[in-house]
Structure 1
Amino acid sequence: MTETVARTHASRAEGRPDEIPFDTSGSTGVSRRWFRLPHQMEREVELIGTQLVGPVDRVLNYAPPQHLFGALFGQWLPRMAGVPVHQAWADPFAPLPVSPGERVLAVCIPMAWNLLRRNRPVLERASSVVALHSSAAPPPTAHELVRRAAPLLRAYEILGSTETGGLAHRPLLPEGSDAGPWQAFPDVSFVRDGDAPARGPEELVIRGPRLARPERGTRPPAQWATGDLVEFTGPRAFRLVGRGSSLIKVNGIKVHLARVDEQLNARLPQAECVVLPLPDDSLAGEAYVVFWSGRGNAVGVADIRAALRDFPSPSQIVELAGIPRTSTGKPDRNALFAEIDPASV
């Protein structure tokens, strides 16, 4: 698929007939459904379009539209702006249809950046390129391309989720630059005690008109706890410190590594498995790796993959004769990561 007309299909779900469903794995691997209204979609497109993107003549969309990010900027923005969209997620290696002098928007998830780097000569036909990145931490390739393609290319990270929509943004900076704080969008407010003294990291809890309605609720929640730990740097700015759990995002899908561990142990009790985050994967951004030992039992990689069918696939599955452990009996992380082939990372 190359050139398409952006379309959106409304859901006849419980609640308003014009609600639009989006499924997310949540933090446990169990599929959950959230509903958004057309005015919420339009507001987010207008908000981010005005603040970050500006006028565009063509959209290159690498984000599948069944996810909120892809629907917003790969369907709704092109339709509202009346511009063509190339659905690159459907055929990532198809030629990019960029005409001379066009103002281009690239809608990026981690895998898009290597493809954009390969297509840099095509992008140079444009008069400007704006890249929006969401779904996970940008890979090193993103920072490299921002440096090499400036000033033609400028890029922004969007922090958000299916439940919240976009809640904050910051420039995606060249490699070697320190990432700045996140700035909240104007319609997002923080739920915290403004009179309390600084307490160090706090959980990010927000309010806003673009919160989605959960499948089992009659209306959107009044506020939403994101699970992110932050340090506030100003009235509407913060730095991410980490997550309040073993939560990562693999190309936009939340993966709770503790749940991955539990599922492996439940389905393959005859094997010894350890799951660790692998955040520096240059292609996929945030990722995880499974280390395992069959302990002499008839267990193979296919069994590991079958046990994880409810989760995004791990970046690597590494078989070991035994799981190295520290003197306290915990998995030895340094020894485990030393078993990874650097050429495959």
Structure 2
Amino acid sequence: MTTLAELVAAAHRTFAARPAVGALTFGDLGAQARAAATALRRLGLRPGDRVLIALDNRPEVLALEHALWLGGFVRVAVSTRLHPAEIAAIADDCAAAAIVTELDVPGHRAIAPGAELFSGPADDFEPRRDSDDLAALMYTSGSTGRPKGARVTSGAWVAMVEAMWQELPPIGPDDVVLHVAPMSHFSGSVGSAYTLAGAAAVPLARFDAVEAVAAIERHRVTAVTLVPTMLERLAEAVDRPTSLRAVVYGAAPISVPVMRRAQEALGTVLYQFYGLSEALAPLTVLSAADHATGDPQVLSSIGRPVDSVDLSIVDGEIAVRGPQIMPGYWGGEPLRDGWFRTGDLGRLDAAGRVHLAGRRSELIVTGGFNVHPAEVEQAIAVLDGVAEVAVLGVPDARWGEAVSAVVVRGPGSELSEEDVRRACASRLAGYKKPRRVVFLPELPQTSTGKPDRKRLRAAFS
């Protein structure tokens, strides 16, 4: 089986004269990666050592992660939106041998991503040939507890890339991928499929819809990865046809109305990928053709499982098995029988599509009845004037938990609490109606773009 290091080395060699990122060709990228790997080795690092990266999107991120994979080191990429103390905790948990960042991480000496890291002498590196080698630790967001590091092998990363190659439009050196979501997470994963097939990368440090549209036009971008809130804002900012051939989104729930508006603005280019830190996307795919059907039953799903993944519903919970699944958490026990219980509740329809019903940990139990937040969110999201919505359970002396909604109004909307309740009453059982509704200017998010339920609960205190 081809390893990740072999894919990286092959990309540098095969596309040596083609643009890779910024002003760098793939040949330049390979030279910088080997120089950085050599520098780390001369600092005393050995294969298997963990290197934590906390950088905004920039060309150095790509060169550095290629260096890690060529040198046999382990990529531990985290969001710069984390507090330095949170980054330090992750570094301590995985016993990071080095941290590359411009942040001041307490208790750790950081390596700045300066030119000296990438321009020194470069040793030759023989690509490692064991697909079971650890390639990355993907830390969970920690929205409901302490972050845990999912162990991602070289073989799992390669399987992820190959699944993306199968599901996306054909990728080659004429493609350009735009990074506006953090390269440390979903955008970097999808970006691997593009870079390793010879596509150029354009990293932007922060997402701004107007700047993203300008970058798409300027660089003739063909692919971009977004979380749903970014997708909605990008669609609002587009006022003419674009060069995009694939807009990949995921990592958080999306409403059917938002999906339809995005397709109207961007065309038949939407791909929804479902995955987790522990089980790399795509586990399931809602393809461009699926989006084009306009069928609410199709659009409300997360698509069908990819060919390489076995998916089952066990006691209402989605369980998966396949080459993209972690063997276990860092410092934890291995998975039993290779099956990973995702924590996501769901069901399969007659066509084999998967429908999410929310997280098992987010299930609301009110007056003895179970309420899935996702179905209440869907009932509210179809209302005119709703930009975003999140539903959660808030402790209640009488009911145990009270169904509660946080709503973001769209521009010019005067939506009221009674409007929200009335919409739910027309679609849902009485016990599923929100007992409390709070309006906020925006939904707080975790570093990975998911609704931050800890901070959302604070809105009801």
TM-score, normalised with respect to structure 2: 0.49
Are residue 149 (structure 1) and residue 266 (structure 2) matched?
yes
* Deviation of the 1:107 alpha carbon: 0.5
Tell whether 2:390 aligns with 1:287: yes
Q: Which moved more, 1:128-137 or 1:93-102?
A: 93-102
Contact 1:147 / 1:175 at 8 angstroms: preserved in 2?
no
Relative to its length, the structure with more helix (as a share) is 2
For each residue in 1:155-181, what CA deviation from the matched residue of structure 2 results, as whole angstroms up to 9, or x when unmatched?
A: 121122111112111136369631425
CA apart distance, 1:186: 0.9
Structure 1 pair 125–144 and aligned structure 2 pair: CA distance change class (3 A) = closer
Q: Deviation at 1:190?
A: 3.2
1:161 paired with 2:269, answer no
Asked if 1:233 is matched to 2:358, the reply is no
Contact 1:20–1:35 under 8 Å retained in 2? yes
Q: In structure 2, do the counterparts of structure 1 residues 233 and 110 end up closer, same or farther at CA, with 3 Å as the change threshold? A: same
Task: State the alpha-carbon separation in 2 of the partners of residues 176 and 340 from structure 1.
Answer: 31
Tell me what 2:447 maps to.
Answer: none
Task: Assess if the C-alpha contact under 8 Å between 2:235 and 2:262 holds in 1.
Answer: yes
The residue correspondences of 1:9-28 to structure 2 (distance < 5 A) are 9=68, 10-11=73-74, 18-25=134-141, 28=144
Query: Given the superposition, is the C-alpha separation of residues 342 and 103 from structure 1 closer, same or farther in structure 2, using an over 3 Å criterion?
Result: closer
1:271-290 deviations in Å (ceiling 9; x for gaps): xxxxx777356655x63479
Deviations 1:228-254 (A, max 9, x none): 2313525xx23325246253xxxxxxx
- Look up the SS of the partner of 2:248 in the other structure: strand
Tell me the CA shift for residue 342 of structure 1.
Answer: 9.1
Match of 1:215? 330
Q: Distance in 2 between matches of 1:202 and 1:114?
A: 30
- Identity fraction in percent: 15
Amino acid at match of 1:136: A
**Deviations along 1:198-218, whole A, 9 cap, x unmatched?**
xxx843222111111311236
**Residues 97-246 of structure 1: matches in 2 within 5 Å?**
97-99=215-217, 102=220, 104-121=222-239, 124-126=241-243, 128-139=244-255, 140-150=257-267, 153-166=268-281, 167-171=283-287, 173=291, 177-180=295-298, 182-191=303-312, 202-212=316-326, 213-217=328-332, 219=334, 221=336, 222-227=338-343, 228-233=345-350, 237-240=352-355, 242-243=357-358, 245-246=360-361
Contact 1:109 1:134 in 2 (8 A): yes
Task: Report the number of matched residues.
Answer: 273
1:109 positional shift: 0.3
CA distance in 1, matches of 2:297, 2:59: 35
Higher strand share: 1
Larger Rg: 2
- Whether the aligned pair in 1 keeps the contact of 2:138 and 2:151 (CA below 8 Å) is yes
Letter in 1 for 2:223: L
User: d(CA) in 2 for partners of 1:85 and 1:257?
Assistant: 42
Normalising by structure 1, we get a TM-score of: 0.63
* Structure 2, unpaired ranges of 5+: 1-55, 76-93, 96-131, 366-372, 397-405, 409-429, 444-461
Highest RCO, 1 vs 2 (Cα 8 Å, sep ≥ 6): 1
The alpha-carbon distance between structure 1 residues 85 and 217, as it changes in their structure 2 partners (threshold 3 A), is same
